[in-house]
């Protein structure tokens, strides 16, 4: 058999499809949108980015920079397209989300054996399949997955940030700059709304007392022993109002930190800053960085318009909170992304508990290659734990099942380095060098399994 079913045309599913197609396997990719949508997607596009348009830092000494480097070595289609559709955003890789999606569909469509089927899958297919239906897997399929794995699905809450029309920003107050732009020789890619201490304090008071949308936590098939009775948020992407509740100054150490920025009106560092990042190639839309929220829509408009420069802001999209479903990967999956229950079923993307765009592209890449190897009776790949991809797969499959929580790429997942009592830069350099060497050595060893 030389055919693979992929459920879900998101980041993981599209990368998996490319890896299978380029190895000569036919792919039937089932995507339910636009006929049936999720609560976070807006378009019917493949590989839609649901919130931020940033894939993370490009800097080689950051976890996302390392992951990009690994994806590049492994010929990731989605990383290549990200670079081709990048918008200016300092040292991050951010894309024009619509052009990105269209290019993904265009590139996959170049393969004659690629079949895109707009249809909601409700039960697990009985031929070789990659399940990449994402954190917002449709309820019927989520139920089928729970039955398949023999466990209740787990869940947590994740939020999206608002997007603003650039021409509604007041540039007599807001200014363009990147952090430490002069020192790092960077261009002024972000729009910054500076705040005095009084403005910030008033903003925080309004933020933490504003009306929120109540979370539903007793949803059928989702509540488990750990989750029952309390709401759970992903620590790496907390709603801004939850961050603000943790202390009056919490945001000035988080998304509103003023470090590296100088207000040109005063030539002083502001007390706090709200940063906006370009969201489309034409530069007409800007994303509020770190402002993911669960406030009601009228309250978002009221509170965010208190930010200096945003008094008349017009929003093309407001923030929202969503329930993310994931499986108990430590009991369900091998680090190859293959299920322990049925060898011809693979999982990829956020449904496995890997968080973040890049991590999800990586798991799709691995599932795609391994599903092909399975079809060919060839050995499956397990990346070394010293690499970022290997570490992510190991984390989701070897963590304690009782405390399993989604995770983003980070250096803490990598095995300890020899000399860890050194400065951050030296430490991360060691991690990156070890990872790079391990990946190169591994790729040489498994050359045949990669073809
Ligand atoms: C609200 C929210 C905000 C997020 N914000 C960020 C962020 O800013 N930055 C970041 O790095 N990560 C973010 N994430 C996390 C994660 O990186 C993204 O969700 C990412 O898109 C996951 O990739 P995926 O391929 O697993 O799922 P998706 O990209 O969601 O793709 C899954 C696809 O499967 C389809 N599908 C679902 N059920 C079925 C079915 N039954 N039949 C057919 N098709 C189906 C869906 O329509 C979707 O297109 C966010 C997640 C959520 C939910």
pLDDT digit string, tens, across residues 300-346: 999 999 999 999 999 998 998 888 899 999 999 999 999 999 999 99
Instruction: Identify the pLDDT of residue 423.
Output: 82
Residues 40-51 have pLDDT tens digits of 899 999 999 998
Ligand 1 close to Cβ of residue 290 (< 6 A): no
The residue nearest atom 38 of ligand 1, judged by CA position, is 137
Confidence of residue 236 (pLDDT cuts 50, 70, 90): confident
Ligand 1 close to Cβ of residue 30 (< 6 A): yes
C-alpha to C-alpha distance for 117 and 121, rounded to whole angstroms: 10
Do 310 and 401 belong to one domain?
Answer: no
pLDDT higher at 283 or 16: 16
Token pair belonging to 238: 């907390």
C-alpha to C-alpha distance for 245 and 336, rounded to whole angstroms: 40
Do 177 and 318 belong to one domain?
Answer: yes
Confidence of residue 185 (pLDDT cuts 50, 70, 90): low
CB 237 within 8 A of CB 292: yes
Q: In whole angstroms, how far apart are CA 327 and each of 88, 135, 347, 393?
A: 36, 10, 9, 14
Token pair belonging to 30: 């089932």
C-alpha to C-alpha distance for 311 and 304, rounded to whole angstroms: 8
C-alpha to C-alpha distance for 101 and 435, rounded to whole angstroms: 30
Mutational test site, ligand 1, from 350, 358, 409, max ligand atoms within 8 Å of CB:
350
Least confident of 312-321, 376-385, 437-446: 312-321
Residues 409-426 have pLDDT tens digits of 999 899 988 777 778 888
Which CATH number do you get for residue 296? 2.40.30
Do 271 and 186 belong to one domain?
Answer: yes
Residues 191-230 have pLDDT tens digits of 999 999 999 999 999 999 999 988 765 433 333 333 333 4
Do 266 and 399 belong to one domain?
Answer: no
Ligand 1 close to Cβ of residue 432 (< 6 A): no
**Which residue ranges are tagged as binding site?**
8-13
Ligand 1 close to Cβ of residue 337 (< 6 A): no
pLDDT at 184 over 80: no
Instruction: Identify the pLDDT of residue 103.
Output: 98
Closest CA to 335 of 368, 375, 383, 371: 383
Number of neighbouring beta carbons within 10 Å of residue 120? 15
Ligand 1 close to Cβ of residue 324 (< 6 A): yes
Q: What is the mean pLDDT of residues 279-290?
A: 92
The residue nearest atom 31 of ligand 1, judged by CA position, is 10
Q: Name residues whose C-beta falls within 8 Å of residue 359's C-beta, 6 or more positions apart in sequence.
A: 67, 392, 408, 409
**Which residue ranges are tagged as binding site for FAD?**
8-13
Ligand 1 close to Cβ of residue 105 (< 6 A): no
Q: Which residue has the tokens 């080689």?
A: 60
Token pair belonging to 440: 């190169």
Do 278 and 187 belong to one domain?
Answer: yes
- DSSP-assigned states of every residue in 190-255: EEEEEE-HHHHHHHHHHHHHS-BPPPP---TTT--TTTTTS--B-GGG--HHHHHHT-TTGGGGTT
Ligand 1 close to Cβ of residue 8 (< 6 A): yes
Do 143 and 264 belong to one domain?
Answer: no
Domain ends where: 264, 297, 322?
Answer: 322
Residues 394-405 have pLDDT tens digits of 999 998 888 788
Instruction: Identify the pLDDT of residue 219.
Output: 39
C-alpha to C-alpha distance for 409 and 57, rounded to whole angstroms: 12
Ligand 1 close to Cβ of residue 56 (< 6 A): no
Q: What is the mean pLDDT of residues 381-392?
A: 97
Instruction: Identify the pLDDT of residue 436.
Output: 96
Do 318 and 382 belong to one domain?
Answer: no
Do 225 and 170 belong to one domain?
Answer: yes
Do 304 and 386 belong to one domain?
Answer: no
CB 36 within 8 A of CB 13: no
Structural domain boundaries, residue 49: 3-153+327-450
Ligand 1 close to Cβ of residue 137 (< 6 A): yes
C-alpha to C-alpha distance for 268 and 322, rounded to whole angstroms: 39
Question: To 5 degrees, how large is the angle CA 127–CA 130–CA 131?
Answer: 110
Domain ends where: 298, 322, 346?
Answer: 322
Q: How far is the CA of 329 from the centre of ligand 1 (A)?
A: 17
pLDDT at 75 over 80: yes
C-alpha to C-alpha distance for 52 and 288, rounded to whole angstroms: 9
Do 311 and 336 belong to one domain?
Answer: no
Give how many domains the chain has, as a whole number.
2
Angle, nearest 10°, between helix axes 63-73 and 357-375? 30
Mutational test site, ligand 1, from 63, 134, 156, 348, max ligand atoms within 8 Å of CB:
134
From the DSSP assignment, how many helices (H) and strands (E) are in the chain?
A: 13, 16
C-alpha to C-alpha distance for 263 and 174, rounded to whole angstroms: 9
CB 107 within 8 A of CB 47: no
C-alpha to C-alpha distance for 84 and 430, rounded to whole angstroms: 30
Instruction: Identify the pLDDT of residue 222.
Output: 34
CB 40 within 8 A of CB 134: no
Instruction: Identify the pLDDT of residue 230.
Output: 43
Q: What is the mean pLDDT of residues 17-35?
A: 98
Angle, nearest 10°, between helix axes 97-109 and 77-84? 130
Domain ends where: 322, 353, 387?
Answer: 322
The top-scoring range by mean pLDDT among 143-157, 220-234, 375-389 is: 375-389
Do 312 and 358 belong to one domain?
Answer: no
Do 335 and 314 belong to one domain?
Answer: no
Instruction: Identify the pLDDT of residue 213.
Output: 87
pLDDT at 444 over 80: yes
Question: To 5 degrees, how large is the angle CA 33–CA 35–CA 41?
Answer: 35
CB 286 within 8 A of CB 191: yes
Confidence of residue 67 (pLDDT cuts 50, 70, 90): very high
Q: What is the mean pLDDT of residues 80-105?
A: 96
C-alpha to C-alpha distance for 12 and 348, rounded to whole angstroms: 6
Mutational test site, ligand 1, from 11, 50, 255, 277, max ligand atoms within 8 Å of CB:
50
Strands 190-195 and 175-177: antiparallel
DSSP letter (8 states) at residue 91: T
pLDDT at 169 over 60: yes
């Amino acid at each position: 058999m030389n055919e693979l079913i992929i459920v879900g045309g998101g980041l993981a599913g599209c990368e998996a499809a490319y890896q299978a197609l380029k190895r000569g396997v036919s792919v039937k990719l089932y995507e339910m949108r636009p006929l049936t949508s999720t609560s976070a997607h807006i378009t019917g596009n493949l590989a839609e980015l649901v919130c931020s348009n940033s894939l993370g830092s490009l800097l080689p000494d950051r976890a996302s920079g390392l992951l990009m480097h690994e994806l590049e070595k492994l010929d990731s289609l989605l990383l290549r397209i990200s670079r081709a559709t990048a918008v200016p955003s300092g040292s991050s890789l951010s894309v024009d989300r619509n052009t990105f999606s269209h290019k993904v569909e265009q590139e996959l469509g170049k393969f004659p054996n690629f079949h895109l089927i707009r249809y909601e899958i409700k039960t697990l297919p009985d031929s070789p399949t990659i399940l990449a239906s994402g954190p917002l897997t449709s309820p019927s399929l989520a139920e089928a997955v729970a039955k398949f794995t023999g466990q209740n699905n787990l869940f947590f809450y994740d939020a999206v940030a608002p997007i603003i029309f650039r021409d509604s920003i007041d540039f007599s107050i807001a200014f363009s700059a990147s952090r430490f732009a002069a020192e790092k020789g960077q261009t002024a890619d972000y729009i910054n709304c500076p705040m005095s201490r009084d403005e910030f304090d008033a903003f925080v008071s309004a933020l933490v007392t504003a009306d929120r949308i109540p979370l539903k936590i007793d949803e059928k098939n989702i509540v488990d022993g750990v989750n029952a009775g309390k709401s759970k948020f992903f620590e790496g992407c907390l709603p801004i109002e939850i961050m603000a509740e943790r202390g009056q100054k919490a945001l000035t150490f988080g998304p509103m930190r003023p470090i590296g920025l100088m207000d040109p009106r005063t030539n002083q560092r502001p007390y706090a800053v709200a940063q906006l990042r370009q969201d489309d190639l034409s530069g007409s839309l800007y994303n509020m960085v770190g402002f993911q929220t669960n406030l009601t829509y009228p309250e978002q408009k009221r509170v965010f318009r208190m930010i200096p420069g945003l008094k008349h802001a017009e929003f093309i999209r407001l923030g929202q909170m969503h329930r993310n479903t994931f499986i108990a990967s430590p009991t369900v999956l091998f680090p190859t992304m293959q299920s322990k229950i049925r060898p011809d079923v693979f999982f990829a993307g956020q449904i496995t508990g890997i968080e973040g765009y890049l991590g999800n592209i990586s798991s799709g890449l691995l599932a795609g290659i391994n599903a092909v190897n399975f079809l060919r009776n060839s050995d499956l790949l397990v990346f070394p734990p010293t690499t970022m991809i290997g570490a992510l797969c190991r984390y989701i499959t070897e963590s304690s099942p009782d405390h399993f929580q989604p995770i983003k790429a980070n250096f803490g997942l990598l095995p300890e380095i020899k000399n860890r009592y050194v400065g951050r830069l030296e430490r991360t350099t060691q991690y990156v060098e070890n990872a790079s060497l391990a990946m190169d050595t591994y790729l040489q060893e498994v050359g045949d399994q990669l073809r």
